[in-house]
Amino acid sequence: MTLAEVSQVLWASQGFTDPEGKRTTPSAGALYPLEIFLAAGGQDDLPTGVYRYRPQSHDLVPVLRGDKRGLLARAALEQEWLSEAPVTVVIAAVYERTARRYKRRAERYVHMEVGHAAQNVHLQAVALGLGTVVVGAFDDAEVKQVLALSADEEPLCLMPVGKPRW
């Protein structure tokens, strides 16, 4: 994958669509509880490591150095093909951002938002001639550890992205 392709896929997940801060996916109360991470296997212009996507500036912040795709595959119940994808988009959430306003309904709203973001990633990947899938089978605590997520960030889905084999 090229850096331009990675950039476009990440923008589709949570990117800004106007100067007022609206994004590519809807969010209950515009609270935007989702956090997007990228586990990269070493693209031409993107060193191997884990990154946090910042929608406001449309850039990546390094979180960890080194190839974590194998550890991520193990955390995903030994789904080794995750280690073969050039990148994996990880969608996590900070539930408290939504819960402050919506209390018990927060979990429902956050899960809807993850669906919207995952759909955008999938549609953008296909538009670029790439493939992806949503992976929900993983050990949450292990994924948090592998990606160095904060205590309030909960991983909700993994999306390996790359050129399809077919």
Question: Looking at residue 43, what is its pLDDT?
Answer: 74
CA distance 121 to 14: 9
- C-alpha 3/C-alpha 66 separation (Å) is 18
Distance CA 135, CA 139 (A): 11
pLDDT digits (tens, 9 = 90+) for 137-163: 999 999 999 999 999 999 999 999 999
Q: Domains in the chain and their CATH numbers? A: 3-162 (3.40.109.10)
Three-state DSSP at 115 gives helix
Q: What is the pLDDT of residue 7?
A: 97
What residues contact residue 114 under an 8 Å CB cut-off, 6+ apart?
A: 34, 91, 93, 156, 157
Low-confidence ranges of the chain (pLDDT < 70): none
Residue 44: per-residue pLDDT: 73
